[in-house]
Homo-oligomer: A and B are copies of this chain.
Amino acid sequence: MRNRGRPTKHRAAARTPAVDIGALTCLIGYMLRRAQIAVFQDAFRAFAEVGVRPAQFSVLTVIARNPGRTQSQVAAALGIKRTNFVALIDSLERRGLAERRPAPRDRRSHALHLTDAGKAALRRLNRMVDKLEAGMIRRIGRDRRVVLLELLHRLADNEGSRHAPRKWGIQ
């Protein structure tokens, strides 16, 4: 129950004990989701200034690092479904941040590149990400960052082990 200062709500909260979500707080699966939602709320809020969502940030990052790759290559590396990915690139292209060019080796597919505006947006986003990550590191404790990343990579690898080459590795 949320109390935002309205007196009637305060009285109701005093009468009724808080709802207990019980064993959910002990489930890795559930807590992963709660942590991810909390962290992404901050990212959505910060990125709104550039008009970009977290998934679009990850796509801009991968295109910047691998210019000229095809849609299906980038989508697979990020584990994004083909249809969702096409819509995502459409949106980046409409906004002038990324562009599709004919792929030199395969005329049926499109090679992805960032525009200058896309590169500038990514520089701004990276500064925001640095701040967001610093905030998380403060919350978990500086010496726990690598531990957490290692554990998350092991859980994420569940997917990797079935579908894609192992590509995680903490740098």
Q: Please report A residues at the B interface, Cβ cutoff 8 Å.
A: 1-3, 16, 18-43, 54, 58, 61-62, 65-66, 69, 72-74, 76-79, 129, 132-133, 135-137, 139-140, 144-145, 147-149, 151-160, 163-165, 167-171
- How many copies make up the complex? 2
Bound complex: CA of A104 vs CA of B124, how far in Å?
Answer: 53
| Pair A152/B41 contact, Cβ less than 8 Å | no
| Partner of A77 from B19, B29, B30, B163 at Cβ < 8 Å | B19
| Pair B156/A31 contact, Cβ less than 8 Å | yes
Bound complex: CA of A144 vs CA of B148, how far in Å?
Answer: 10
Bound complex: CA of A28 vs CA of B136, how far in Å?
Answer: 8
| Pair A21/B152 contact, Cβ less than 8 Å | no
| Pair B35/A78 contact, Cβ less than 8 Å | no
29 A-B Cβ contacts within 8 A?
A: A1-B72, A1-B164, A2-B76, A16-B73, A18-B77, A20-B65, A20-B77, A21-B58, A21-B61, A22-B61, A22-B65, A23-B61, A24-B61, A24-B62, A28-B133, A28-B140, A28-B152, A29-B133, A30-B58, A33-B36, A33-B40, A33-B54, A36-B36, A37-B156, A38-B156, A38-B160, A41-B158, A144-B147, A148-B148
Bound complex: CA of A147 vs CA of B28, how far in Å?
Answer: 11
| Pair A19/B132 contact, Cβ less than 8 Å | no
Q: Which B residues are in CB contact (< 8 Å) with A36?
A: 32-33, 36
Closest A-B pairs by Cβ, 10 of them: A38-B159, A19-B77, A35-B155, A31-B152, A34-B156, A35-B152, A22-B65, A38-B158, A35-B156, A36-B36
